[in-house]
Structure 1
Amino acid sequence: MGLLETAITGKKRGSSHAHVVAELGNAIVSGKIPEGSILPGDAELSQRFAVSRTVLREAMKTLAAKRLIEPKAKVGTRVLPRANWNFFDPDVLEWRCETGIDLTFIEHLAEMRTALEPAAAAAAARRATADDIVALYAIAARFDDLAHTPESIAKVDLEFHLAIARMSGNPFMHSASALIEAALSIAFQLSSPASSPDMIEDIAGNHLRIAHAIASRDPEKAIAAMRHVIDVGRSRIQKSLAPADKDQAGTGT
């Protein structure tokens, strides 16, 4: 289950392993378990989560692979500094979103999308097959529906952007798709374009321009069109957050 699907349905993965990973990972990313601290031993954690040591050890291996923790002989399992965390990992991104979304986080996400997605669009303009382009137009056409709900338009949006990542032919682009999904998940929750017919028309037109640029084999137009879509989304989310940020500043929280 992806980050966007989790945001839409509210459902979490249900295995014991997934539960332990999510509870500890969220606590680390939120700061409830501080960076540099030593986690309790296996016996205590197994009892706390009511899981076998085998399940616990597999969960710890998963968290270590995400660079959140590191086991040290004769010391224990240490929580790594934030600079070590793998923010390209979908789970780490999900936990970061769950800790609270602020303007700084939005800006960081937008910066990464601006670095990656226009390049993916340019690569797609050079490498996409005729079938790829037909499929992209089919997705783009589904934006233009005034009956869209926040859920339905978010799913189309994600499908469109992931299609371009695949069409780029660059496996690194596809591997970074969790960033795209995080941004669209935030947009779904805070400022969906489905809230206004005009916004639906705008998002449909903006994404159609990306498809046109790719179909015309024009990398520069593809770059410009993708940047515009990212900038519009960033601006929309920033506006939705601004009143809350001002309220917090006024109360000193």
Structure 2
Amino acid sequence: MRKKGLLETMMSGAAAHTSHSQVVTELGKAIVSGEFPVGATLPGDVELAARFGVSRTVLREAMKTLAAKGLIVPRARIGTRVTPKDQWNLFDGDILTWHFAVGVDEDFLLHLSDIRGGFEPHAAALAARQASEAEINQMMRLAVAMGDPDHTPETLALADLRFHLAVMEASHNPFMRTVGSLIEAALAGVFKLSSPTADRSKIGDVAANHMRIVEEIRRRDEDGARRAMENVIRVGRRRILSGADDRGG
């Protein structure tokens, strides 16, 4: 079964299904939220197994998963400690999901926007060089679909995500494809703060800005594609700042 992405999880509120995923999710959120702060030693296996109602085998596997994500490290004769935040794998989709679950601030979203600015304009330039005609046609269909006046905030966010992931695919760079969770998190954050669907007149502008990216890619204009993508990211950044202002900073 395909794992739901961050946007779909946020929209559906879907919970973890297996005992392992439940423990990973709940402990992950507890660490990210600061319930177990950096440097803290987690409770012992017996206490945690009782807290989550799972076997010690399930708990140990969950701990291995969290350690692989960089959140914890086991220490002999000391216990399992929460690692410094600079050791957390923020490219990991689960860790990004947990940040949104416990609440993110404007700085977090702006950092995500900065990372998008580092990757996506170059991906658009690569797409102008590498994309096939079929990929260009698909990107244009996705951009046009963003202009549907009947979009809800959720459907527009998903349409936006599909477009940006298509550009990453069309770059034909396998490393670009691995940053999809960052793009999804950034779009999810903007979706949470402010959606163009609040002002129907802006939906057409969103579609037009994305169609401009495809037009530059179709012309094989790498600089033009880069600038068009930079413009879309700037618009998203302004929505982050505007959304924060509307919510009182």
Question: What CA distance in whole angstroms lies between the structure 2 residues aligned with 1:168 and 1:158?
Answer: 16
Question: What CA distance in whole angstroms lies between the structure 1 residues aligned with 2:132 and 2:112?
Answer: 29
Aligned to 1:88: 91
2:136 is equivalent to residue 136 of structure 1: no
Aligned partner of residue 74 in structure 2, secondary structure: strand
Across the aligned residues of Structure 1 and Structure 2, the Cα RMSD in angstroms comes to 1.1
Aligned to 1:199: 202
Aligned partner of residue 78 in structure 1, secondary structure: strand
Residues 124 and 169, structure 1, Cα contact 8 Å, conserved in 2 = yes
Listed as ranges, the gaps of 5+ residues in structure 1 are 247-253
Once the two structures are TM-superposed, the CA of residue 217 in structure 1 deviates from its matched residue by 0.8
Residues 207 and 229, structure 1, Cα contact 8 Å, conserved in 2 = yes
Question: What CA distance in whole angstroms lies between the structure 2 residues aligned with 1:187 and 1:207?
Answer: 16
Aligned to 1:166: 169
TM-score normalised over the length of structure 1: 0.94
Aligned to 2:130: 127
Once the two structures are TM-superposed, the CA of residue 245 in structure 1 deviates from its matched residue by 4.1
Residues 106 and 238, structure 1, Cα contact 8 Å, conserved in 2 = no
Question: What CA distance in whole angstroms lies between the structure 2 residues aligned with 1:40 and 1:47?
Answer: 11
One of 217, 220, 225 as aligned partner of 1:217: 220
One of 15, 18, 23 as aligned partner of 2:21: 18
Aligned to 2:239: 236
Aligned to 2:59: 56
Matched positions, count: 246
Once the two structures are TM-superposed, the CA of residue 99 in structure 1 deviates from its matched residue by 2.7
Aligned partner of residue 247 in structure 2, secondary structure: helix
Aligned to 1:249: none
Residues 158 and 180, structure 1, Cα contact 8 Å, conserved in 2 = yes
One of 171, 184, 191 as aligned partner of 2:187: 184
- Identical amino acids, percent of aligned pairs: 51
Residues 7 and 189, structure 1, Cα contact 8 Å, conserved in 2 = no
Aligned partner of residue 164 in structure 1, secondary structure: helix
Residues 110 and 240, structure 2, Cα contact 8 Å, conserved in 1 = no
Aligned to 2:121: 118
Once the two structures are TM-superposed, the CA of residue 216 in structure 1 deviates from its matched residue by 1.0
- Which amino acid letter does the alignment assign opposite residue 130 of structure 1? E
